[in-house]
Chain A
Amino acid sequence: MPAEITMPKLGLTMESGTIVRWLKAPGERIAPGDPLLEVSTDKINYEVESPVAGTLAQRIGNDGDEFACGALIGLVTLENETVAIAAAASPVSVRVPRHENGERNGERTVASPAARKLAREHNLDVRDVRGSGPRGRITLSDVLARATAQPTDKAGAAAPAEAPLRTHTAPAQSAAPAELDPLRRTIFRRMSDVGVLPLAQVETNVRVDAVHALVTRRKDFGWTAFAVFALARLLREHPELRTDARSGRPAEALDIGVAADTPRGLLVPVVRGAADLSLAAIQSEILRLAAAARAGSLAPADSGGAAFSLSNVGPQGVERVAPLVDPPQTAILGMGAVTRRPAVAGDAIVPAWMVTLVLTFDHRFIDGAPAARFLAALAGAFADPGLLL
């Protein structure tokens, strides 16, 4: 039996993948672990390796074809196999059903001429693009969104999430300059979307002598890990702060996105299930994610789908940051550097370790009072970490 090469499932949410290019030709000899072809999802590109030694017998899908996860895309005959199987493998009709929103007009995909032209320039099949126009017409901005959501190298691995915002109408032409790299284009587009949201902020300064002492003494966790730890636990009790803009309901998983500074730009890897992790476990997960983000090797499961995000500019030594939310999330915490500042104790001004926390939230979903209550609770935990126990 030849070995079947199938479209891999690279993440929980992945339903299909597109063949970017075959790296081996039919008849070519293959060693185990040899990359056979490159596939792309809406988040990453990935090389599919041969599980066996043998010969590439058949390529079923062509470059640019989209297949459902698990669908047969190629066959490798084993080392000792002599059976000619090329004829036996009939082409498999596994093209995934097209997006339900990209409504079809009979067999014809409804797309504007400009959208079709742009899709050609990006080697995209318009049928793979979700249409947001009247009657599902695919417009320029839909193709742009698709083109930028499909990075052509691994740099885009953890580009901040996938779903274009549909909860508002963005200015029609937020076209990124063509020369931007894929990650920058994604950031460009998403920030253009965020720019029109009604964002509000609450802010407070917290005296954090106790946690500062712990961080200094323990050395096995840092401020980012502490913030994620505190956020995850408090978000359990403040479900409105993890509202998902797509559904209007709280996100289920207590996954916290952590903005990471990388040589290529902003990435937001995610600490999964942070409410169930110890401080030390969060710390080691953050270190792993940060290293992977910098190296461009984040796995699909490491990004996207966070309930809430954290942006900590403490490492840069800046005292205050007012971040933008990362839709479909509806809130984000901006944390500054922990610095020595004057604090009032009784009637005296004393030097104290202080931090500034800014909570940005999407006012369409979250009101000021619950946001302030959440920030107050968070400030309480920063001042007295014992409250989290």
Chain B
Amino acid sequence: MAHSITFSEATLEAMREEMRRDPTVFLMGEDIAKQGGIFGQFKGLPQEFGFERVRDTPISEAALVGAGVGAALTGTRPVVDMHFADFITCSMDELVNQAAKLRYMFGEQCSVPMTLRAPDGITKSAAAQHSQSLEAWFVHTPGLEVVVPANARDAKGLLKSAIRSDNPTLYFEHKTLFTQKGEVPDDDDFTIPLGKAETVREGRDAAIITYGITVGRALEAADKLAREENIEVRVVNLRTLWPLDYDAIADAVAATHRVLVAHEAVRVGGLGGEIAAFIGEHCFDDLDAPVLRLGAAHVPVPFSPGLQDAMFPKAPAIANAVLDLVRNRR
């Protein structure tokens, strides 16, 4: 059985269940306890778990993540909220040089089971400093796990797995997904394993490999193509970007021979490049057309609604790219 809740409520359910399940799980961030989070994603948690386990912190991301790393090293499972993913930059040393490295540098004598929650992505005119999708940086950093939920079900299942993981895990949640509703299993112990992609739509003519907010846009494009062009597109929701489910990618190439990789993050240097390169190296003989990539333009996200709308891939652009692939235009 399942129930229909918003993405935000799904993360709240995950938090509640994991905090009940494991007394070492606690939460810190800016304006999360008294205010409940800007997306309501923490509402009611201090009432159940108290202000010791749901802590408001000063506005210092370096201190916040540093405290998280330290707490994790001493045996707790901190969940640290970044408010906006863009602010991770202020805590890069704690995250990249400390959290990611300690387990390796100390011969597995310690681990950093910290979850870093990072609302990201483009929303209405949030502009260049509050709209970025920075996941590729962290996939590029050995020692970190990176997950990107695409819907309420993912949001809950992946957050619970991230909290239970003994590695530092970045959990990128797209700001515009928070209000979207979806079916979530009733099971209190429902989790989605890290490192496993999901084929969310079957199709034989082409494959879209994507994650996060772009999964919904890809599905919208695929529905349109099926309806109007009789083109059946497989859509792969990666869910976890590291460890990356290379098998699911290879399967999609073998099944369709034509592949588009799409994400909202900047195309240049984005994860699409890694995926396309992997396909080139390992699935060469299965390709019937070049691998195409869609991502945001290589510009700071504009404030102007018109410019903002034009700079990242939505369903029509995705559908056009697939048409290019299937109609032999590329």
Q: Report whether A134 and B231 are in contact in the complex, using a CB–CB cutoff of 8 Å.
A: no
Q: Are B327 and A112 in contact (CB under 8 A)?
A: no
Closest CB-CB distance, A266 to chain B, in whole Å?
25
In the complex, are the beta carbons of A112 and B288 less than 8 A apart?
yes
For A116, what are the chain B residues with a Cβ–Cβ distance below 8 Å? 285
Q: Does A114 contact B (CB under 8 A)?
A: yes
Inter-subunit contact B205/A172 (CB<8 Å) = yes
A173 touches B204 (CB 8 A): yes
Residues facing A in B292-330 (CB within 8 A) are 326-330
Please tell me the size bucket of the interface on B.
10 to 19
Contact A114 B257 (CB under 8 A): yes
B205 touches A133 (CB 8 A): no
Q: Which of B200-243 contact A (CB under 8 A)?
A: 204-206, 230-231
Given A113-B285, A114-B287, CB of A133 within 8 Å of CB of B328: yes
The answer on a CB contact under 8 Å between B327 and A169 is yes
Check A171–B230 contact: CB distance below 8 A: yes
Are the C-beta atoms of A134 and B329 separated by less than 8 Å? yes
Which A residues from 95 to 128 make CB contacts under 8 A with B? 112-117
B257/A173 in contact, CB under 8 A: yes
Interchain CA distance A133-B288 in the complex, whole Å: 10
- CB atoms of A132 and B328 under 8 A apart: yes
- Render A130-165 as a binary contact track against B, CB cut-off 8 A, 1 for contact: 001110010110000000000000000000000000
Q: Mark A193-225, 1 if CB is under 8 A from B, else 0.
A: 000100000000000000000000000000000
Q: How far is the CA of A134 from the CA of B324 in the complex (A)?
A: 10
B245 at interface by CB-CB < 8 Å? no
B61–chain A nearest beta-carbon distance, Å: 46
Chain A: residues with Cβ within 8 Å of the partner, total of 17
Q: When A114-B257, A140-B257, A196-B230 are in contact, do A172 and B285 touch as well, CB less than 8 Å?
A: no
Q: B286: which A residues are within 8 A, CB to CB?
A: 113-114, 117
Contact B289 A133 (CB under 8 A): yes
- The answer, among A134, A137, A173, for a CB contact under 8 Å with B205, is A173
> What is the minimal beta-carbon distance from B40 to any residue of chain A, in angstroms?
45
Report whether B288 and A115 are in contact in the complex, using a CB–CB cutoff of 8 Å: yes
Chain A, residue nearest B205 (CB): A172
Task: List chain A residues, Cβ under 8 A from B231.
Answer: 171-172
CB distance from A108 to the nearest CB of B (A): 16
Nearest chain-B residue to A196 (Cβ)? B230
B288–A114 CB distance below 8 A: yes
| Residue numbers in A under 8 Å from B160 (CB-CB) | none
Task: List chain B residues, Cβ under 8 A from A169.
Answer: 327-328
Q: Mark A161-205, 1 if CB is under 8 A from B, else 0.
A: 000000001011100000000000000000000001000000000
Contacts of B289 in A (CB 8 A): 112, 133, 139
Contact B287 A112 (CB under 8 A): yes
Contacts of B230 in A (CB 8 A): 171, 196
Any chain A CB within 8 A of the CB of B137? no
Query: Smallest distance from the beta carbon of A202 to chain B beta carbons, Å?
Result: 26
Asked whether B257 lies within 8 Å of A134 as measured between CB atoms, the reply is no
Chain B residues with CB below 8 A from A171, complex form: 205, 230-231
B327 contacts across to A, CB distance below 8 A? 169
Tell me which residues from 233 to 287 in chain B have a Cβ below 8 Å from any Cβ of chain A. Answer: 256-258, 284-287
Q: How far is the CA of A230 from the CA of B285 in the complex (A)?
A: 53
Which of chain A's residues have a CB closer than 8 A to the CB of B329? 134
Q: Which residues of chain A have C-beta atoms less than 8 A from B205's C-beta?
A: 171-173
Which residue of chain A has the shortest Cβ distance to B254 in the bound complex?
A114
- Point out the residues of chain A lying under 8 angstroms from B284, CB to CB: 113
Closest to A169 in B: B327
- List B172-214 residues whose CB lies under 8 Å from chain A: 204-206
Shortest beta-carbon distance from B273 to chain A in Å:
19
B287 touches A172 (CB 8 A): no
Q: Point out the residues of chain A lying under 8 angstroms from B328, CB to CB.
A: 132-134, 137, 139, 169
- Bound-state CA distance A114–B327 (Å) is 16
Which of A113, A171, A173 has most B Cβ within 10 Å? A173
CA distance A114 to B204 in the complex (A): 15
Q: Which residues of B contact A196 (CB under 8 A)?
A: 230
Shortest beta-carbon distance from B29 to chain A in Å: 48
Contact with B along A254-293 (1 / 0, CB 8 A): 0000000000000000000000000000000000000000
A133 to B205 CA separation, bound complex (whole angstroms): 15
Inter-chain CA distance A196–B284, complex, in Å, is 31
A112 vs B279: C-alpha distance when bound (angstroms): 14
Measured in the bound complex, the distance between the Cα atoms of B287 and A115 in whole Å is: 8
B330 touches A139 (CB 8 A): no
User: A172 contacts B326, CB within 8 Å?
Assistant: yes
Among B256, B284, B285, find the residue whose CB has the most chain A CB atoms closer than 10 A.
B285
Known: A169-B327, A171-B230, A172-B205. A140 touches B288 (CB 8 A): yes
Can you list 14 pairs linking A and B with CB atoms under 8 Å apart?
A: A112-B257, A112-B288, A113-B287, A114-B288, A115-B288, A117-B285, A132-B328, A134-B328, A139-B328, A171-B230, A171-B231, A172-B288, A173-B205, A173-B257
- Chain B residues within 8 Å of A, Cβ to Cβ: 204-206, 230-231, 256-258, 284-289, 326-330
Instruction: Give 3 nearest A-B pairs by CB, closest first.
Output: A117-B285, A114-B288, A112-B288
Q: A114-B286, A134-B328, A134-B329 are in contact. List 15 more A-B contacts (CB 8 A).
A: A113-B285, A114-B285, A114-B287, A116-B285, A133-B289, A134-B330, A137-B328, A140-B257, A169-B328, A172-B206, A172-B231, A172-B288, A172-B326, A173-B204, A196-B230
